[in-house]
Structure 1
Amino acid sequence: MEERLMARLESAVARLEALSLRGGSVAGSGGDDASATDPSIVAFEDFMGAYLGRVSSAGEKIGGQVLAVTKILEQALNMQKELLIKIKQTQKPDLAGLAEFLKPLNEVIMKANSMTEGRRSDFFNHLKAAADSSTALAWIAYTGKDCGMSMPIAHVEESWQMAEFYNNKILVEYKSKDPNHVEWAKALKELYLPGLRDYVKSHYPLGPVWSATAKAKAAAPSAPAPPPPPPASLFTSESSSPSSSKPKVGMAAVFQEISSGKPVTSGLRKVTDNMKTKNRADRTGVVGASEKESRTSSPSFSKAGPPKLELQMGRKWVVENQIGRKNLVIDDCDAKQSVYIFGCKDSVLQVQGNFYTL
């Protein structure tokens, strides 16, 4: 109970700090306060207090990189809470606006992913478990069945399945070595299953509910100093760069020209009578003797393959495409072997010994 109260107190302090950074005040943020006391937001704080505290406590006992990635996880959950508050005050944006709105959360998640890169750490399994599981927080990006991702509950479960492989490695490796690592791994799993999954199931089974009456745009919540730009984003928008700004090529350019209403042949040169082949003085239609000779004297293309003289599978001598060879000899032929000759010209083959067939 004490850990839960402490977690809620820390959450309240973090919220006050965020308000001061935005230049607001507690008294002047009536809309934010109303959203912050919404049952779904209070339930999110309860969820963090019940599950995140165990992960943080175990991470502090381990220290090092495990503690660092645990703090990033705390930051990601706090950022998700801030976004959930903002969603209640914001109309649903388009795809590009959604990517911008979720950018602060994405930056924190990518910070966790960056810890798994580079030289492999002794706590690589911890880092991967935390980073892969943090993608479960992307359930907030669900906008409908056509958005290209699983529904929120399924997304949380699938994200944990990616992380569970590394989490199980921690349990096996530290089962008889260090109970703090075992506690951290167990607490991490419970943070998502049942923690986050049950929260989403109770409050947002069909995705976040945007405001129908609030302002169309709202600034994304402020975040601590962002890390270097990540190589990729969990929330991307293909529609952010309109295709009309790119010059059309190929058939697209043709259809664009047709639909413009301009004469399609306006840029073509007109062929006059003296340019036509039948009226040109230098084209009589008679093939000259020298041209005819040059055509007939050109060597024909040979389709013959490379010359062969080899024993295949111990049973068959193959002689192919031998041209002008007078000294071909098969000197080790027995009665069980056959000789196959194809495509040879002006050549002599001597077979020493008996053979089955030719």
Structure 2
Amino acid sequence: MPGQQGMHNFSTILKRLEAVTSRLEDVAVSSSSPAPTSSLRSPTAAAHENLAPTSSAAPPPPPPPPPPAEEAVTPAVKAYQDEIIDGALQEFIEKSNELGGLVQQHSSLLPALCEAQLQFLKLASNHSKPSTPTALGPLLEPQGKAIQAILETKEKLSRSKEGRDWNVCFNVLGEGVPAWGWVQVEPAPAPFVAEMKNAAQFWSDRVVKQYKDTNPTAVAWAKAFAQLLTSLQAYVKQWHTTGVAWNPKGSPAPSSIPSASSSSSAPPPPPTSSRGGAVTAGLKKVDASQMTHKNPDLRSSSVVPDNARKAPPLKPKPGAAPAKKPAKLELEDGNKWMIEYQEDNKNIVIDQTELHQTVHIFNCKNSVVKISGKINAVTMVGCKKTAVVLDSAVSSLSITSSPSFEVQITGQIPTIQVDTTDSGQIYLSKECMNTVEIITSKTSSLNISVPTGQDGDFEEKPVPEQMKSKIVGGKLVTEIIEHAG
């Protein structure tokens, strides 16, 4: 029946229209209500999302940035890690841990300095050198703080009651740690390290002398530090001959050391005096009368008598002259000439010299030391009105806290360093004229006499003491002020 079939088709169409209308109403309600907070959604809402035009959809999030490329590890950086940190430094820390006490506490600050220098060398190997000292300063700051922490701790421990018996060890580290400042020295940083090594060697030798019969662990500690400085000098000489090896093809250096390394390069805070009792607990108490470094009469023997305990000596009256210590002139260990406490002796002669030997002059007054032949190095510390006549040296001559000194070089020497000294005279030979470098700091009234070539005459040239600084184009420019005499 055509009529019934038409009615059936019409009824089917109405049902489909009702279904479509119901679906549209659901869509309208879904779009006007807040977005569901649950991750479960109705099929109607899901269908709406699928049917929505692509132009109204939110843009996809940008892809995450690629991870930063790791900086290349150059052979110079790897050598510092292997030879210094994992090599000589590790050996030194092991010896300091064996020694323990305040010396170990002081030594434990050194790894932070070496780690800070490693991070700086990594940065330098991947970047070009900053164009101004002002821009370089923040990059050196972590190392500077680490050195400062070691020096401040030396002063604090030296003044503490527990540390008085270990001052000679504190001086070893205090005199040697400035060697890590080679990163600021151009064009010859290796000789600078050698200077600091010689200054520390003077005190290392005193540690060996003082403890060789009573505390071999302290002797091993001092020798390990000397070896660390030797390794540092060899490293700098090989990889940074004229200064820090920057990467001329690298990107400009950042304004500071990246934060990723700051935690490892920051030095620990200086120890407080309240920890002194804890770190010295377990150390054997030694009476002052049994200490060889306080009793010269005991130094000739390695045995301290049991009855050596005596009442503490009375303190000298104010203004009283200190007791004189015995003069000394001897060769130790076959390579160290020790000249100490000589007074009014104008005939000190060292003529049986060899190339590997060093000469250490300490606390001499109004004396003359003549050194024949070619040796390694000479240091003079704490002397007054003392003169040195030297043929030649492979490394350097270092003069510290020795007012009114005189030095005459008859052969060749690459470096002369004068520090914290007032009034001095240096006579150079013709062989020195184009080779020697003279480095001064905290000095005054220092004169350099150069040969004129006329019957052995000399022309005296004063070392400038004044500097003038001004701002030019936003930069600090410093120049020497010379006064015509």
- 1:130 counterpart = 2:138: no
- The 1-side partners of 2:253 and 2:89 are apart by 33
- The 2-side partners of 1:29 and 1:126 are apart by 45
Higher relative contact order (CA 8 A, sep 6+): 1
Q: Contact 1:56–1:70 at 8 Å: present in 2 too?
A: yes
- Cα–Cα, structure 1 residues 227 and 58, in superposed 2: closer, same or farther, change >3 Å? closer
Give the 3-state SS of the residue equivalent to 2:203 in structure 1: helix
- Cα–Cα, structure 1 residues 143 and 98, in superposed 2: closer, same or farther, change >3 Å? farther
Match of 1:139 in 2: 182
- The 2-side partners of 1:28 and 1:139 are apart by 34
- Cα–Cα, structure 1 residues 51 and 226, in superposed 2: closer, same or farther, change >3 Å? closer
Match of 2:266 in 1: 224
Amino acid at match of 2:166: F
Match of 2:98 in 1: 61
Cα deviation, residue 244, structure 1: 8.3
Amino acid at match of 2:238: S
- Cα–Cα, structure 1 residues 28 and 171, in superposed 2: closer, same or farther, change >3 Å? farther
TM-score (norm. length: structure 2)? 0.38
- Cα–Cα, structure 1 residues 72 and 186, in superposed 2: closer, same or farther, change >3 Å? same
- The 2-side partners of 1:176 and 1:61 are apart by 17
Query: Which of 77, 81, 85 is matched with 1:45 structurally?
Result: 81
Query: Which of 240, 247, 264 is matched with 1:204 structurally?
Result: 240
Equivalence map 1:1-358=2 (5 Å):
28-32=67-71, 34=72, 37-48=73-84, 49-93=86-130, 94-118=132-156, 119=159, 121=163, 122-144=165-187, 151-193=188-230, 195-212=231-248, 213-221=250-258, 222=262, 223-224=265-266, 227=269, 242=471
- The 1-side partners of 2:468 and 2:128 are apart by 19
Q: Contact 1:112–1:127 at 8 Å: present in 2 too?
A: no
Cα deviation, residue 127, structure 1: 1.5
Cα deviation, residue 208, structure 1: 0.9
Any runs of at least 4 consecutive aligned residues in structure 1 with deviations exceeding 3 A, and if so which? Answer: 225-228, 238-245
Amino acid at match of 1:224: A
- The 2-side partners of 1:135 and 1:95 are apart by 19
- Cα–Cα, structure 1 residues 125 and 31, in superposed 2: closer, same or farther, change >3 Å? same
- The 2-side partners of 1:107 and 1:169 are apart by 28
Q: Contact 2:239–2:245 at 8 Å: present in 1 too?
A: no
Amino acid at match of 2:241: P
Cα deviation, residue 224, structure 1: 2.6
- Cα–Cα, structure 1 residues 226 and 199, in superposed 2: closer, same or farther, change >3 Å? same
Match of 1:296 in 2: none
Q: Contact 2:109–2:267 at 8 Å: present in 1 too?
A: no
- The 1-side partners of 2:116 and 2:253 are apart by 21
- Cα–Cα, structure 1 residues 239 and 80, in superposed 2: closer, same or farther, change >3 Å? farther
Q: Greater helix share, 1 or 2?
A: 1
- The 2-side partners of 1:141 and 1:40 are apart by 17
Q: Contact 1:153–1:200 at 8 Å: present in 2 too?
A: yes
Percent of aligned pairs with the same amino acid: 25
- The 2-side partners of 1:123 and 1:242 are apart by 46
Give the 3-state SS of the residue equivalent to 1:177 in structure 2: coil
Match of 1:352 in 2: none
Q: Contact 2:138–2:256 at 8 Å: present in 1 too?
A: no
- The 1-side partners of 2:198 and 2:468 are apart by 30
Cα deviation, residue 67, structure 1: 1.2
TM-score (norm. length: structure 1)? 0.51
- The 2-side partners of 1:111 and 1:240 are apart by 29
Q: Contact 1:96–1:240 at 8 Å: present in 2 too?
A: no
Q: What's the Cα RMSD here?
A: 2.6
Amino acid at match of 2:139: F
Amino acid at match of 1:109: I
- Cα–Cα, structure 1 residues 92 and 178, in superposed 2: closer, same or farther, change >3 Å? same
Q: Contact 1:76–1:108 at 8 Å: present in 2 too?
A: yes
- The 1-side partners of 2:227 and 2:196 are apart by 13
- Cα–Cα, structure 1 residues 227 and 100, in superposed 2: closer, same or farther, change >3 Å? farther
Cα deviation, residue 59, structure 1: 0.6
- Cα–Cα, structure 1 residues 59 and 116, in superposed 2: closer, same or farther, change >3 Å? same
- The 2-side partners of 1:43 and 1:244 are apart by 40
Cα deviation, residue 99, structure 1: 2.1
Cα deviation, residue 111, structure 1: 0.7
Q: Contact 1:70–1:130 at 8 Å: present in 2 too?
A: yes
- Cα–Cα, structure 1 residues 180 and 206, in superposed 2: closer, same or farther, change >3 Å? same
Give the 3-state SS of the residue equivalent to 2:256 in structure 1: coil
Amino acid at match of 1:242: I
Q: Contact 2:112–2:266 at 8 Å: present in 1 too?
A: no
Q: Deviations over 1:160-209 (max 9, x none)?
A: 1121222111111110111110100011101111x111111111111112
Cα deviation, residue 50, structure 1: 2.2
Match of 1:309 in 2: none
- The 2-side partners of 1:177 and 1:241 are apart by 57
Tell me, which stretches of 5 or more residues in structure 1 are unaligned?
1-26, 145-150, 229-237, 246-358
Amino acid at match of 2:69: G
Q: Contact 1:52–1:74 at 8 Å: present in 2 too?
A: yes
Q: Contact 2:175–2:196 at 8 Å: present in 1 too?
A: yes
Amino acid at match of 1:133: G
- The 2-side partners of 1:69 and 1:241 are apart by 40
Amino acid at match of 1:88: S
